[in-house]
Structure 1
Amino acid sequence: MAGCGAVNPPDNIEPVSEGRGYQAQYRDIVSRRSGDASSLALNAQKCRPARKDGTSFAKFGSSLFLSDILSPGDLVDVRIESDDEFSGQYVVSQDGTIRLPFLSAVSVKGRSMSSIEADLAAQLLSLDYFVEKPRVSVRLLDRAPATVAVSGAVFESRAVQIGGRSGPVIDTLRQAAMGDATETRLLSNAIRAAGGIRPDADLSSVELHRSGTIHRLDLRPLMEGTDTTDIPMLAGDRVIVPSRGCFQDNLMRPGPLSPSGVNLFLSNLSAPAQGNAPSAIGKEAREVPYGTRLIQAIVGSNCAGGTLATNAGRAVVLVSADPVSGTSLAIQRDVEALLRRGDRDDFDPYLLPGDSIACYDSTVTNVADVARILGVLSVLDVALR
């Protein structure tokens, strides 16, 4: 019966048991001693100072915030007063220009409509197509998707495509109207498309690389809900989210820059269930809001509760990975012991995308199952004699 007890605690390469893993909540549960630091304090000890050199949206005052700046693939309507030769609809080329008949290419990427109108009018006048400077109107009809590179302290550093709409979404009235408004080709959506910010992100100085210029942005007000301003993105933009080198508990919550949720891999084959379906491990248990903690997943996967005498000794194993180094880790918790501690928050890890959780039966249930098997074998032995 020696092998019927709880599973042996897993080993790890990183020093997670001492509180020096990606989040201090991974550390081994110990008896509370006077002077012990909380997980929040242990996490904060590793933090590098925030750069704080990013400019807040309220103080930026830049063309970055213009909603009608153009990007390759955008569809524009150009109208010139009293003229049908040059007026028409044009697509912004991959090099960021539009080409009207008989005119040189006009650079439009990242520029305001008024400056484009002035350039077109000046070119028409200089080529003697008009005696006086004509009145020119340039209007955005439809936005194209934009490919943006996102790297740094996000869960999935990669190039993402944001914006644009599928054909069924665009109704005929909107197609006939001028102007376009989309909430998908924005900085926040680019970051979320790259998996969202990691808990170690430094939001005080997020870099936006555009046309050879680096803009440093303070995205903390956007995350905190004190500023709803967002930045329209252009094809070819690059976003870099720096890291503070520490786990920040305050970033583990839903927000405009956070992951849309957490997908978990769950296994609960504890008695009396013979599979995950009887344990009610459905979509709601596997897909949880960002900021969910281990105890919530334990309850959601039916690994807690039931008959106290037989189920109180259940154990759960969480398998995760350090999102910075990629090193896997595994920790074990005794379910009832964790639930009944007053300082449970210090040892209750936040769940990260792709985490796996396995629920193990208590010692009493294991012994009972072994005894049941031995009993069946005894009956068979008697029957075969």
Structure 2
Amino acid sequence: MARTSARNAASTLAIIALAACGGKTPANIEAVSRGESYQAQYRDLERPAADSPTLRSALMNASRCKPYSGSAGAGKLRTYLPDALRGELLSRGDLIDLRVPNDETFTGEFVVSRDGMLKIPFLDPIPAQGRRTEQVAAEIRRKLVAGGFYVDEPALSLLVMDFAPVRIGVSGAVFDPQASDIGGVQGDQVDSRRQAALGASTEGRNLSVALRSAGGVRPDADLSAVRITRAGTNHIVDLRGAVDGRHFDDIMLVTGDEVYVPSRQCFQDELMTPSPVSPPGVSLYMSNLTQPANNNAAAAVSQGVREVPYGTRYLQAVIDANCVGGARATSADRSAALFSRNPVTGVSVVIERRVEELRTRADRDDYDPYVLPGDAIACYDSGVTNLGEIGRLIGVFTLGALVD
């Protein structure tokens, strides 16, 4: 009787396990299988053409693009930069050194106040926010004459001793839109010799830093018309040179600036490359467990997020997760699922690929999607490994039934 029960239990378990082996094709709301989701590379694998394979994914992605909104169009870069955005610009909190020869009254160090004004004894407040030092210096000379302190405009020196952090907002086609502080220097990174020297310089308040602080621009970004709103006035900057090695205006921002990156509503393969405005890398969630873990320690949860370079593709990430290779007879034919989200629509997407099938295709690039920040990859063992696991479970259940 015990042997019969054991056989029945083993048979039932085998049927259930074999049924589970086949898995199911992931269901998606968007038309992922036809290449109509965020990346055409997500689409289902088609039978390779008899002649040389044709790579169509980049063209499929580009066909959905809205025209560039910048007035320069698709070809020529916008070279004009408004005067209000040029040069090193002052912002509230900046430390200023003012020197008027042989005049201790007006010589001293001053901080641009919270309202953006430079306040010097005996003079009316001088607007400094968003202005260059030479503009502020010229107004100081005029006010010294207008106030009756000098007959002719005196020689003076106005230097920035330290640039303060600025708070800006970034929205639109970036991975993590937010308001953030940029340009600050941590205490343990302060260069004392530079602090003691006259004058200061910084790259920490540049537009590229702001975009990276918001996760970097997305592949659907329209870099021809990045909008900078300063004191209620909109300015348009062309940043396409940042991703193809050409010159671009990496302007200096001030507190209160708002940056908006429009979208072309399409995936642009050419933007999937490291650049000053791209994400510094991709934090990728990975799982390559052969057995589901029953606790966090066994799953090594603290190591679950890996950093890969921006522009990494699915196959590269799967290799990084140790999901490729091994004995061909038992473990080589694995599959892996990519979990992502369309940043334009906010709709999630899951695709699953057989790793060896994709590896052996000449047109693999057409179906090898780029991984994006926040994506996750889960690896599944081959059918032979699954059958081995089923055999082990049948043995355990059979032995348990015999014991009972």
TM-score, length of structure 2 as denominator length = 0.88
Match for residue 124 of structure 1 among 127, 144, 158: 144
Shift of 1:183: 1.5
Partners of 2:221 and 2:261 within 8 A in 1: yes
Match for residue 66 of structure 2 among 42, 45, 48: 48
- 1:245-284 residue pairs with structure 2 within 5 A? 245-270=265-290
- 3-state secondary structure, aligned to 2:379: strand
Match for residue 325 of structure 1 among 345, 363, 381: 345
Equivalent in the alignment of 2:81: 60
Aligned equivalents of 1:195 and 1:334: distance in 2?
A: 31
Report Cα offsets for 1:280-309 as digits up to 9, x if no partner.
999698110011011011111111111111
Q: Are 2:382 and 1:366 equivalent residues in the alignment? A: no
Aligned equivalents of 1:285 and 1:156: distance in 2?
A: 18
Q: Are 2:53 and 1:32 equivalent residues in the alignment? A: no
Change (3 A) 1:280 1:246: same
Equivalent in the alignment of 2:97: 77
Equivalent in the alignment of 2:252: 232
Equivalent in the alignment of 1:171: 191
Aligned equivalents of 2:245 and 2:321: distance in 1?
A: 32
Worse-matched range after superposition: 113-122 or 188-197: 113-122
Change (3 A) 1:57 1:281: farther
Aligned equivalents of 1:285 and 1:77: distance in 2?
A: 47
Report Cα offsets for 1:320-346 as digits up to 9, x if no partner.
101112111111111111111111111
Report Cα offsets for 1:186-214 as digits up to 9, x if no partner.
00010111110100011111111222332
Aligned equivalents of 1:375 and 1:13: distance in 2?
A: 41
Shift of 1:258: 0.3
Match for residue 214 of structure 1 among 220, 234, 255: 234
Q: Are 2:263 and 1:243 equivalent residues in the alignment? A: yes
Shift of 1:277: 9.3
Shift of 1:104: 0.8
Name the Cα RMSD after superposition.
2.6
Aligned equivalents of 2:334 and 2:295: distance in 1?
A: 17
- 3-state secondary structure, aligned to 2:393: helix
- Read off the aligned partner of 2:70 and give its amino acid letter: K
Change (3 A) 1:175 1:312: closer
Change (3 A) 1:365 1:280: same
Change (3 A) 1:277 1:288: farther
Shift of 1:14: 1.2
- Read off the aligned partner of 2:63 and give its amino acid letter: Q
Structure 2: tracts of 5 or more residues without a match:
1-14
- Read off the aligned partner of 1:323 and give its amino acid letter: P
Aligned equivalents of 2:146 and 2:84: distance in 1?
A: 28
- 1:103-122 residue pairs with structure 2 within 5 A? 103-122=123-142
Shift of 1:381: 3.7
Shift of 1:132: 3.2
Aligned-residue identity in percent: 45
Report Cα offsets for 1:352-377 as digits up to 9, x if no partner.
01111111111211111111221233
Shift of 1:316: 0.9
Structure 1: tracts of 5 or more residues without a match:
none
- 3-state secondary structure, aligned to 2:46: coil
Q: What is the count of residue pairs matched by the alignment? A: 383
Match for residue 176 of structure 2 among 114, 132, 156: 156
- 3-state secondary structure, aligned to 1:310: coil
Aligned equivalents of 2:125 and 2:113: distance in 1?
A: 10
Aligned equivalents of 1:288 and 1:273: distance in 2?
A: 24
- 1:318-357 residue pairs with structure 2 within 5 A? 318-357=338-377
